[in-house]
C-alpha cells in the first residue's frame, strides 16, 4: 500500500487497532480537534440533533466504539440528563479516560462503560432504542458482523446511526483533504504523541472504508429499513441512518 503497511487480514487487524488506541488514549481528545480542525464537534452535534433523544428515563442508547464518551455524553445532555447511554469499546484505556470525564461532568449516573467487541455484543436481543457508532465502524474487522449485532440488540422501531469518514464529493475540497490527511495528520500525530504510525493507520483505514452508497447497501443487507445518509462538509464525513422495523 501507499504507506508500506502490509494488507492486514481479519485476524491481524484488531490487535493493530487496539495498539493504536492504547497509544493515543490520553491524547485522543486533543488529537481529534487537531486532526479535524475542530470539525468533529460540529459533525457529532449534527448526529445528536438527528437522533434527537427524548427526555425519557427509559430511553436507552448503546454507543459502540464509544471511546472517551463524546457521543454518549452529548446524548445524555441533549435528553436533559434523562436518557441512559452504554459506552462500549474494545479498549479499556479509552474507556478509562471516558469514565473519568463522565465523573468530572457529574453525569456518571446516566452512563455505564462496557469493554467488549462490536462483533459480539454482550446484550440480549431487543435491548436498545438506538445504536450509535462514531468513527468506529471502519476499525472493526468484520463490519457486516457488527451491523448484524446492531440489528439484533435494537428494539423494533429502534434506530441505527453511523458517523464515519466518507468519500469527499466536492471538487478541490478532495485535493485539499488528500494533502491534509496524507501529510499533515501523520506529522501532527508525531508531533503530539511522538509516533506517526498510528496516524498513518488511521488515514489508511479511511481510504479503505466503503463510500456512501456501498456502505448504505451493507446497512440494508444487515436488515435495516429506510436507510439513508447525509454528507457533512462535502462528504469528509457522512451520517448513515437505518431503522429496525
Ligand atoms: N466514538 C468515539 C469518538 O467519536 O470520539 C471514539 C472513536 S475512535 C476513532 C475509535 C474507537 O473504536 C476506539 O476507541 C477503538 O478502541 C474502538 N474499537 C476498535 N475496534 C473495536 C471493536 N471491534 N469493538 C469495539 N470498539 C472498537
Grouped pLDDT means (10 residues each) for the chain, 245 residues: 41 82 84 86 97 97 97 98 98 96 97 98 98 96 97 98 93 83 82 79 88 98 98 96 98
Give pLDDT, residue 193.
Answer: 75
Strands 154-165 vs 128-134: parallel, antiparallel or unpaired: parallel
Strand boundaries in 71-110, DSSP class E: 84-89
Q: Is the ipTM of this complex over 0.95?
A: yes
Q: How many residues does the chain have?
A: 245
Closest Cα to atom 6, ligand 1: which residue? 67
CB 184 within 8 A of CB 34: no
Give pLDDT, residue 1.
Answer: 31
Write down all domains in the chain, each with its CATH number in brackets: 10-243 (3.40.50.150)
The rounded distance, in Å, linking the Cα atoms of 245 and 224 is 8
The rounded distance, in Å, linking the Cα atoms of 83 and 102 is 14
Q: 169 Cβ partners below 8 Å, 6+ apart?
A: 212, 231, 234, 235
Rounded to 5 degrees, what angle do the CA atoms 37, 43, 48 make? Answer: 145
Q: Which atom of ligand 1 is nearest to the CA of 21?
A: 16
Q: Is the pTM of this model over 0.90?
A: yes
Q: Which atom of ligand 1 is nearest to the CA of 29?
A: 5
Task: Count Cβ atoms below 10 Å from residue 116 Cβ, excluding itself.
Answer: 14
Cβ(205) – ligand 1 distance below 6 Å: no
C-alpha 118 to ligand 1 mean position (Å): 9
C-alpha 191 to ligand 1 mean position (Å): 22
CA 145 to chain centre: 16
Cβ(65) – ligand 1 distance below 6 Å: yes
C-alpha 99 to ligand 1 mean position (Å): 15
Of the CA atoms within 13 Å of residue 178, those in its CB half-sphere come to: 9
Category of 39 on φ-ψ map: left (φ > 0), alpha (ψ -120 to 50) or beta = alpha
CB 119 within 8 A of CB 141: yes
In whole angstroms, how large is the CA radius of gyration of the chain?
Answer: 17
129 labelled as ligand-binding?
no
Amino acid at each position: 500500500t501507499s504507506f508500506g503497511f502490509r494488507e492486514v487480514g481479519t485476524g491481524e487487524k484488531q490487535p493493530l487497532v487496539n495498539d493504536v488506541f492504547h497509544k493515543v488514549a490520553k491524547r485522543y481528545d486533543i488529537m481529534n480537534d487537531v486532526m479535524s480542525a475542530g470539525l468533529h464537534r460540529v459533525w457529532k452535534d449534527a448526529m445528536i440533533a438527528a437522533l434527537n433523544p427524548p427526555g425519557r428515563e427509559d430511553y436507552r442508547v448503546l454507543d459502540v466504539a464509544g471511546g472517551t464518551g463524546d457521543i454518549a455524553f452529548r446524548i445524555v445532555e441533549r435528553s436533559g440528563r434523562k436518557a441512559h447511554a452504554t459506552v462500549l469499546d474494545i479498549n479499556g484505556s479509552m474507556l478509562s479516560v471516558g469514565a473519568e470525564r463522565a465523573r468530572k461532568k457529574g453525569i456518571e449516573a446516566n452512563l455505564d462503560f462496557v469493554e467488549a467487541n462490536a462483533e459480539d455484543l454482550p446484550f440480549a436481543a431487543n435491548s436498545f432504542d438506538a445504536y450509535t457508532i462514531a468513527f468506529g465502524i471502519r476499525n472493526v474487522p468484520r463490519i457486516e458482523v457488527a451491523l448484524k449485532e446492531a440489528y439484533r440488540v435494537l428494539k423494533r422501531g429502534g434506530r441505527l446511526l453511523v458517523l464515519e469518514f466518507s468519500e469527499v464529493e466536492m471538487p478541490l475540497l478532495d485535493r485539499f483533504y488528500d494533502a491534509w490527511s496524507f501529510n499533515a495528520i501523520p506529522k501532527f500525530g508525531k508531533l503530539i504523541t511522538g509516533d506517526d504510525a498510528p496516524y498513518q493507520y488511521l488515514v489508511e483505514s479511511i481510504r479503505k472504508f466503503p463510500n456512501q452508497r456501498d456502505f448504505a447497501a451493507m446497512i440494508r443487507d444487515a436488515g435495516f429499513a429506510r436507510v439513508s445518509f447525509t454528507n457533512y462538509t462535502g462528504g469528509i464525513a457522512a451520517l448513515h441512518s437505518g431503522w429496525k422495523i
